[in-house]
A and B are shown apart, each in its own frame.
Chain A
């Protein structure tokens, strides 16, 4: 069974530009989560999408946004990039929480570098 996939693997952008990151969940999973793992800050929750709707967002500015498509894949957009946005962006997927537990399975991540 294929795991969570993310693209691209690496992304280099200039401050002020926009970045788009993509995620495909495990087949059968309807929830997609985005986390940021910045050096020294650990994994921070960004967004949760389930059945095409944004269900929750973490303590990040509005320039972090995303969406979930009808096939449950997801896109994270980061506008007006700042140097501190440089991090590993991780996508995870699960069944809808509460229906089959809370296990989240992570993809390999997209490393975003802002110069």
Chain B
């Protein structure tokens, strides 16, 4: 079993839809949770960073962490064609030696 599980998709939605992306994890020591966006053949771009449980909002993006369920989510409101990319969840903790553990990534396509 992988430490971090993420549905690879692909996920296709119409423009303006609310998108929900999710990851589950098994290591209860994870404290830091991130979402990255990666366009084709580019480096990942940090979208959201959350410490421990709770919600964080930034514009059209909302990140949620539920440590009791070992489940994290990223919501994208009013999705745009420019949001079409692969979304990667990543997480770490004090005992990970600087290492981020990534999900496989979900490929998102927003159709005009």
Q: Are B99 and A48 in contact (CB under 8 A)?
A: yes
Distance in angstroms between the alpha carbons of A42 and B65 in the assembled complex: 22
Q: Are A101 and B97 in contact (CB under 8 A)?
A: no
* Interface residue from A43, A48, A101, A111 paired with B102 (Cβ < 8 Å): A43
A-side contacts of B102, CB under 8 Å: 42-43
Give the B interface residue count (CB, 8 A). 24
* Interface residue from A6, A42, A98 paired with B105 (Cβ < 8 Å): A42
B-side contacts of A33, CB under 8 Å: 98-100
The DSSP consensus for interface residues of chain A is strand
Check if B71 is an interface residue, CB within 8 A of chain A: no
0 or 1 for each of A7-50: is its CB under 8 Å from B? (1 = yes)? 00000000000000000000000010101000000110100101
Q: Give the interface segment out of B20-28, B39-47, B56-64.
A: B39-47
B-side contacts of A103, CB under 8 Å: 34, 46, 49
* Interface residue from A6, A58, A101 paired with B49 (Cβ < 8 Å): A101
Check if B75 is an interface residue, CB within 8 A of chain A: no
Task: Kindly report which residue of chain B lies nearest to residue A50, judged by CB atoms.
Answer: B98
* Interface residue from B46, B90, B94 paired with A98 (Cβ < 8 Å): B94
Chain B residues 74-112 with CB under 8 Å of chain A are 88, 90, 92, 94, 97-105
Check if A69 is an interface residue, CB within 8 A of chain B: no
State how many angstroms separate the Cβ of B41 from the closest Cβ of chain A.
8
Apart from A50-B98, A56-B97, what 17 extra A-B contacts exist at CB < 8 Å? A6-B43, A31-B98, A42-B103, A45-B101, A55-B98, A97-B98, A98-B94, A102-B32, A102-B100, A103-B34, A103-B46, A103-B49, A105-B46, A106-B36, A106-B43, A108-B42, A109-B43
Listed in ascending order, the chain B residues whose CB lies under 8 Å from chain A are: 32, 34, 36, 41-46, 49, 51, 88, 90, 92, 94, 97-105
